[in-house]
Amino acid sequence: MSFIDIAIFCAYIIGVMIVGWYYYLKNESNEDYYVGGRNMSSFHVGLSVVATDVGGGFSIGLGGLGFVMGISGSWMLFTGLVGAWLASVFLIPKVIKMGHMHKLLTFPQLLRQFYGQHVAFLAGIISFVGYLGFTSSQLLAGAKLATGTFPALSMENALIIMGVVAVVYTVAGGIKAVIYTDTFQWLLLMGGLICIGIPMAYIKLGGMSVIRESLPDDFLSFTNLTGVQFINWLITIVPIWFIGMTLYQRIFSCKDERTAKRAWYIAGLFEYPVMAFMGVLLGVFARVAADAGMFAEYGFASGSIMAETDSEMGLPLLLRSILPVGLTGLMMSAYFSAIMSTADSCLMAASGNFVTDILGLKSTDKNVIRVSQAITLIIGVLAILLAYQMQNVLTLMLNSYAFMVSGLFVPVLGMLFAKKVKPAAALAAMLAGGVGTLTFSIFDSIPIPFGFDPIIVGITLSAIVFLAVNSQAK
């Protein structure tokens, strides 16, 4: 990258840090730090929700899907639209009232109202572990983007840079810094993709006729996936809208039910079709570029070779190959902003779980904020160390989703729809779901019928155990 591109990127980083420092000076309690004083608008919350849910991991991951399967990869984010709108109808009306009434900061605190302390504590542990992994996936996405753009930068150094930037402003500013930077970062990503990335790639590759001739026919079809694959995405992603700590923090940060529901409708539409098609389309363009030999100098002689090794590197290498001086810096800032927007939110979620649900700190004294910031810093370091051990962004992200969903989804459904619920049923369901999914994920030699994801086994076990225990006579 040229000096101009580096200067543009550094200006973006400095701007993010300034926002974090500003809210560091403004926050006065853990309620400010974790739920933004409960007075956020639907516009900021909606863009923050979609930035968090899609963010850099799905941006890079969607590029990888477009690279290996074409525009059918967009169906993954259709499940995000479904999840967002279902949550706006069934979840938000119930939980936002309780959140404001009981001054709740976290999702497990909500479960405590229905199931008691033991269930809330276990839910806090499950959510913390899941969001620790999810934070790591975002840092890994940023490192992949950085190494694809800066060839002299190693993956290890890239992880350190991503981690330091994301952790510092999140530690300092809390949820308001996260939400307001998410708004800016999401608009930056949209502008970068619409005005720079997609049109520049389209022109550089030679237009639609060249693209069509270079791709297999099924890459431009919406049916290049199996029913089992779609069901796996549906069962993994839709429930996260009901158990995601990052989403509960944003529900609790809205000033009323109408604001929260409007924010969720905004988020759903931005997920699908907006981000879904832009993400996979750039992945498709990267496949055309790889097959044309544009990535040969980076060690990928063809698209098939890259598809077998690391398809997620296609999008970063495409941007590096097609963008001129100045625009490269803007586009890299756009993608880094998407990654930051998810990493910071997941880091806040993990911190909130640990401070509030595991340690049980409740004071509104400023000293508690300092403890929260110190714990956020420690969790950020752990996320960086975990990212060192992983290679695939989408795999790490979906495994983190699966771990949380399989343990927490059924108890949430019980909270929303069951007339009577027993704490023992929720505890047993959480353990059965989590253990079931982990068992089939770790021991992948155990056959699962029809190729379904282990999360389906986990949720099924969780539901059976919940119904069995809850139906027993007292």
Q: Look up tokens 């909130």; give the residue.
A: 352
Name every residue whose Cβ is closer than 8 Å to that of residue 31 and which is 6 or more positions away in sequence: 37, 38, 103, 105, 364
In this structure, what token pair is assigned to residue 77? 């984010």
Domain-located, residue 415 = no
Domain-located, residue 52 = yes
Most confident of 28-32, 237-241, 394-398: 237-241
Domain-located, residue 165 = yes
| Mean pLDDT within 455-461 | 92
Domain-located, residue 358 = yes
The tally of domains found in the chain comes to 1
Domain-located, residue 10 = yes
Domain-located, residue 351 = yes
pLDDT, tens digit (0-9, with 9 covering 90-100), for 335-390? 677 677 778 888 888 998 999 899 888 755 567 788 888 898 999 898 888 887 76
Domain-located, residue 255 = yes
| Residue 328 identity (one-letter amino acid) | T
pLDDT at 80: 93
pLDDT at 178: 79
- How high does pLDDT run on average in the chain? 85
CATH of the domain at 362: 1.20.1730.10
| Mean pLDDT within 61-71 | 90
Buried residues in 231-256 as b, exposed as e (16+ CB within 10 A)? bbbbbbbbbbbbbbbbbbbbbbbbbe
Residue 167 belongs to domain spanning: 3-397
Domain-located, residue 418 = no
Angle of helix 423-442 relative to helix 393-417, nearest 10 degrees, comes to: 160
pLDDT at 289: 93
| Mean pLDDT within 159-166 | 81
Round to whole Å and give the CA distance between 215 and 318: 16
